[in-house]
Amino acid sequence: MKIKRYQHVLLVLLVGLGAGAIWSQEAAQTRSLDAEGHQWWQHAVFYEIYPRSFADSNNDGVGDLKGITSKMAYLHGLGVDAIWITPCYPSPQVDFGYDVSDYKNIDPMYGTLADFDRMVAEGKKHGLGIIMDFVPNHASDQHPWFLDSKSSRTSSHRDWYIWRDGKGDGQPPNNWTSLFGGSAWALDPATNQYYYHLFYTAQPDLNWRNPEVEKAMLDTTRWWYKRGVAGFRLDAVDALYEDPDLHDNPPESETHGDPFLAYKYTIKRPENHEALRKIRQVADEYDAVLIGETYTRDINDLNEYYGSHNDGLQLPMDFMFTNVNKLSAPEFRHQIAGVDEAKGWPAFLIGNHDIVRSYNRYGDGVHNDAIAKLMGALYLTLRGTVIMYYGEEIGMENNDPQRIEDVKDPIGRVGWPKMKGRDGERTPMQWNSDANAGFSKREPWLPVPSSARTHNVAEESMDPNSILNFYKKVLALRRTNEALREGTYSALNEDDPNVMSYLRSYKGKAVLVALNMSPSPQKANLDLGNKGFPSGILKSLLATPLSSAKGSEVTLEPFGVFIGEVDKQLLKLDRDHCNIGRPATLRRDYAETNCSCHRHNFHPHPVHCLSEKTQPSRFRNI
Ligand code: GLC
């Protein structure tokens, strides 16, 4: 199993108007709360698109906005609710868009603002919101702000970045290091000062202590909201502020491998949260959602991102979930239980453009397709928002470069051969089995793996047992089943080392999810009575071919999935019959919806007290 290289790096180190406005106005109206007080984004599945790699409309080998627009029907059919597009602003592409040189435009390689507006409008037609990626921590060294900043020590943008004198003798101001390797300080010979860059040298950090920077960044978000975006994914939110006194970070010997401590004075400064609150205030003006790239150490750390009065990020991503890097029921259980008790709404993901694809991370080389379905069933049935990564739904795998000459990602170029970079998880979307997986008629910027011949949208659409069709079914279930949408999460059989099972319950209805995380067949007897569902009969909603339930015993094939509903009819009949029928035999030790008849008294057999077949018609179909 491969390691999550970039996440490892981050964890170890960082541990309009026009058509668009229509979406925001209308969406604001439709984004009312549901019966549970939930907002649209709480039920949503966001789909992350790496624009270079999704669909290439002009066949130049790099994806573009028109390409994305052409795939709206696919995304709608898949069953997602919104798209997050990683940066498509003008950029020298040193870090493939995370080095922005103009925050209010579209890079010509991806199209124009008019293409953007059309994409928003087309998304709206398909019920899909657009989330942009906002990079507030740093800009490109080619951004006019930085060009002016470095032009002289007295330029008007000088203080928009973090400039300091060196220690003399060619020594940088302190020992701070960059997440992309080496010192975090780069000398500008013309003005003989160093600028700070947490990431690549071409990505100088903006100075958030300067009110002009803060204003410019907040105005940027307003500008895009007016153009119709439904929110932002905020990049590197841990890193907005650094210690103004430039204390050295603790040396390796003192950090004991703690990635957060190693960056004590450069990430997770308390001031970050103040900036996030301000970004949120603007988001609230437009009823927009903020998703954060939040690498957190524990639940307390995650809680901080929600804000002390829920005035921080609505959806700080739970990267701790992605840290469970093996199929381990106890570990997932532990992690999910923690996040379920966090003070905000959970946001789950299993992959992104910085992490080795989940297909490789969890796959055992033999049952990879089954495991891909299992993982989809897991994170799409939890209580929380889901952020999918393009290609997960077809079982795309990493295609890592084999030679340094082929590496595009700066992390891979600097870190080779120890770190091969993130190219492997960013390869073109696999649409069909034609050349270049149907992504482009020209050789794409990154090569597709040979598995694209079988793992692609066209082939998988035709196979009822494909990963794609499985994902579609889970996504449809999540959308239509109230218990999956609104229900509480409650773990079952917590000592089972192999089968991860839980109940999602809502107003007397419940869905049970049972996932076999082992390579051998498993049975699990699930005590639903304990959870207030005494009838305990499961009706299959979605299961892998050899997985089923009898009563409340679930049989699962290796890496099998069973999702079943606790029979509503039975529960309702139980309750109503109890209410009408035989008060003397009632057990009222559950809440009203959990009322059960005293089975042995009522019925000669110790079976469920009512069933459609055995009951008089007046109790049916109530
Ligand atoms: C975030 C992005 C990553 C990028 C880095 C610097 O971690 O996800 O891709 O390299 O920020 O912007």
The answer to whether the CB of 409 is under 6 A from ligand 1 is: no
**Burial (CB count <10 Å: 0-12, 13-18, 19+), residue 30:** exposed
Report d(CA 587, CA 1) in Å as an integer: 51
Least confident of 99-103, 550-554, 573-577: 573-577
Q: Which candidate, 109, 116, 105, 127, places its Cα nearest to that of 69? A: 116
Tens-place pLDDT, residues 353-381: 999 999 999 999 999 999 999 999 999 99
Which ligand 1 atom minimizes the distance to the CA of 138?
A: 12
Does 205 have pLDDT greater than 70?
yes
pLDDT > 70: what percent of the chain? 86
Helical axes 19-30 vs 211-227, angle rounded to 10°: 90
Clarify whether 188 is annotated catalytic.
no
pLDDT digits (tens, 9 = 90+) for 72-111: 999 999 999 999 999 999 999 999 999 999 999 999 999 9
From the CB of 141, is ligand 1 less than 6 Å away? no
Expressed in angstroms and rounded, the spacing between residue 619 Cα and the centre of ligand 1 is 60
What is the average pLDDT score of the chain?
88
What integer pLDDT is reported at residue 443 of this predicted model? 98
152-183 exposure pattern, b = at least 16 Cβ within 10 A, e = fewer: eeeeebbebbbbeeeeeeeebbbbbbbbbbeb
Q: How confident is the model at residue 568 (pLDDT cuts 50, 70, 90)?
A: low
Q: By C-alpha distance, which of 319, 292, 295 is closest to 306?
A: 292
pLDDT digits over 315-364, tens only?
Answer: 999 999 999 989 999 999 999 999 999 999 999 999 999 999 999 999 99
CB of residue 236 inside a 6 A radius of ligand 1: yes
Both tokens assigned to 202 = 């071409």
The span from the CA of 382 to the CA of 490, in Å, is 10
> Residue with the nearest Cα to atom 7 of ligand 1?
236
The residue whose CA has the least distance to atom 9 of ligand 1 is 354
Ligand 1 atom with least separation from CA of 411 = 10
CB 98 near ligand 1, within 6 Å: yes
Kindly name the residue from 36, 165, 212, 285 that is annotated as catalytic: 285
- Residues 302, 324: Cα–Cα separation, whole Å: 16
Instruction: Give the sign of the dihedral formed by CA 412, CA 417, CA 419, CA 421.
Output: positive
Residue from 235, 237, 295, 296 whose mutation best tests the ligand 1 pocket (most atoms within 8 A of CB)? 235
State the distance from the centre of ligand 1 to the C-alpha of 14, rounded, in angstroms: 11
Give the per-residue SS3 of 114-175.
HHHHHHHHHHHHCCCEEEEEECCCECCCCCHHHHHHHHCCCCCCHHHECEECCCECCECCCC
Ligand 1 center from residue 183 Cα (angstroms): 18
- Residue 31: pLDDT band with limits 50, 70, 90: low
- Is residue 238 within 6 Å of ligand 1 at its C-beta? no
Kindly report the protein residue whose alpha carbon is nearest to atom 12 of ligand 1.
98
∠ Cα 371 372 374 (to 5°): 60
Which residue bears the tokens 């490109």? 140
pLDDT digits (tens, 9 = 90+) for 511-548: 999 999 999 999 999 888 888 877 778 899 999 999 99
- Check residue 574 and give its pLDDT: 42
- Across residues 407-423, what is the average pLDDT? 94
| H or E element, residue 260 | helix 259-262
285 included as an active-site residue? yes
User: Cβ(95) to ligand 1 under 6 A?
Assistant: yes
- Quote the ligand 1 centre to 71 CA distance (angstroms): 25
Task: Decide: 486 in ligand 1 pocket, CB within 6 A.
Answer: no
Q: Is 293 in the pocket of ligand 1 (CB under 6 A)?
A: yes
Q: Enter the pTM of the model.
A: 0.88
Give pLDDT, residue 528: 85
Decide if 423 contacts 429 (C-beta within 8 A): no
CA 193–ligand 1 middle distance (angstroms): 26
The CA-atom distances, in angstroms, between 554 and each of 48, 376, 503, 512, 560 are 34, 19, 13, 10, 10
**Which of the two residues, 570 and 405, has the higher pLDDT score?**
405
Which ligand 1 atom lies nearest to the CA of residue 180? 10
Cα distance between residue 67 and residue 52, in whole Å: 10
Query: Which H or E run includes 525?
Result: strand 522-525
pLDDT in tens, 180-196: 999 999 999 999 999 99
Cα gap 241→158, rounded to integer Å: 17
Please indicate whether residue 48, judged by its CB atom, sits closer than 6 Å to ligand 1.
no
